[in-house]
Amino acid sequence: MLSQYRIKTIFAIAVSLITVLGGTHATASSRIKDIVSIEGIRDNQLIGYGLVVGLNGTGDTLRNTPYTEQSLTAMLERLGVNAKGETMRPENVAAVMVTANLPAFARQGNRIDVNVSSMGDADDLKGGTLIATPLLGADGEVYAVAQGAIAVAGFSAQGEAASVVQGVPTNGRIANGGIVEREIPFELSDLTSVKLSLHNPDLTTAQRITAAINSHLKKNMARPLDPSTIQLDRPIGYELALVDILTEIEQLSVQPDQKARVIIDERTGIIVMGSEVRINSVAIAQGNLTISISEQPQVSQPGAFAQGGQTQVVPRSSVTVEETGTEKLTILENAVTLQDLVDGLNALGVGPRDMISILQAVKAAGAMQAEIQVM
């Protein structure tokens, strides 16, 4: 849990950044390529199951992970070694899950990065080597094969009475450890129309993108389908191919619009407010009632020459009550800018935790024209 001082510091920095950005929001713009995704141009997730060998006694315990023993036996049989019925107790083998992202338009022979994560009770994957592992797509087909030495950022050390673990030593990465074996059949140049998907769906932003594209191409080739989708059509006989059209329009600048939204992280006490947040006139009073109870028990025992008697613990309790916060109602006038809202709330002199409660109460009263999202 963050200290109150750190929370206040984080909140102050966040408010400062929001204030600076809020002042320039009216002229801020983004490239189309930064706020939309193009249909078909996306990664595909791959997954595989394999074995890591060469560990320094930090692998799986076979009696606890029978699938590791079964996999090891099957691998040895494929290599011509009959290990069935044999009792194996190696400590340098671990069963792992291998994951990777296949980039769009990856061709056969291209290399990709892969992540390796332990499945069993292995202590550390450092120094291990992943044996050739097929990586499957969602359709069950093999799209890549991964193999290579694993790089682990974390480490672990253990003695007789103590141990130290830093990072996650059971998770590693192989840079360029996967080789693409199958291509995804998709040719962008063969399409006559394509859809643009907004990262943050919004009707106004979709309309602005459409207007910018049609104005630049001097032809009505784009039209919004919904708040998150714009369809771009290439007319028959148009001099530019679809790839050339996308190259031209992705650099166009558009001013995205956004909803008035307040994001609250109750765990850390962080509040982020968009520049479009507005409130109506509202009166706010804030106060905290703090009750402190301290126990200081005392020991009472009979004198040295007393006849009988017992030693007793006598409880001593101290209870204090303190009320802090504003002593009167504070009125926040209609907020024209984000700066007015922040200044008005800061005038109450409350911390982030109380600020969260105040914002939720203002929203419940119907005085805040914004959406509140609690993380």
What is the rounded CA–CA span in Å between residue 355 and residue 358? Answer: 5
pLDDT range class, residue 197, cuts 50, 70, 90: very high
Low-confidence winner among 37-51, 322-336, 356-370 (lowest mean pLDDT): 322-336
Question: What stretch of H or E contains 41?
Answer: none
- What would the two tokens of residue 286 be? 């804030």
The pLDDT of residue 117 is 95
Per-position DSSP letters for 104-161, written without gaps between them:
TT--TT-EEEEEEEE-SS-S--TT-EEEEEEEE-TTS-EEEEEEEEPB-S-EEEE-SS
Per-position DSSP letters for 187-238, written without gaps between them:
-GGG-SEEEEEESS--HHHHHHHHHHHHHHHTS--EEEEETTEEEEE--TT-
Q: What are phi and psi of 164, to 5 degrees?
A: -130, 130
> What strand order describes the sheet that includes 270-273?
270-273, 261-265, 371-374
| Best CA proximity match to 275, nearest among 135, 374, 370 | 370
pLDDT range class, residue 236, cuts 50, 70, 90: confident
pLDDT 10s digits, 111-140: 999 999 999 889 889 999 999 999 999 999
- Is pLDDT larger for residue 188 or for residue 196? 196
The pLDDT of residue 50 is 94
Number of neighbours of residue 221 by Cβ within 10 angstroms: 20
The pLDDT of residue 335 is 54
What is the rounded CA–CA span in Å between residue 340 and residue 356? Answer: 17
Per-position DSSP letters for 290-358, written without gaps between them:
EEEEEE--EEE---TT-SS---EEEP-EEEEEEEEE-SS-EEE---SSHHHHHHHHHTTT--HHHHHHH
Query: How confident is the model over 127-156, as a mean pLDDT?
Result: 92
Question: What stretch of H or E contains 253?
Answer: strand 253-254
Whether 254 has a pLDDT exceeding 90, the answer reads: yes
Give the chain's mean pLDDT: 80
What is the rounded CA–CA span in Å between residue 220 and residue 181? Answer: 41
- Is pLDDT larger for residue 231 or for residue 26? 231
Between strands 330-332 and 282-284, the pairing is antiparallel
Whether 238 has a pLDDT exceeding 90, the answer reads: no
pLDDT 10s digits, 59-77: 888 888 888 888 888 888 8
Residues above pLDDT 90, as percent of the chain: 34
What is the rounded CA–CA span in Å between residue 103 and residue 170? Answer: 26
Question: What stretch of H or E contains 283?
Answer: strand 282-284
pLDDT 10s digits, 258-282: 888 888 887 777 778 777 777 777 6
Q: How far is CA 194 from CA 106, 190, 223, 243, in A?
A: 20, 11, 11, 10
pTM: 0.66
The pLDDT of residue 11 is 44
pLDDT 10s digits, 338-360: 566 666 667 666 667 777 777 77
Q: What are phi and psi of 210, to 5 degrees?
A: -60, -45
Between strands 298-300 and 193-198, the pairing is unpaired
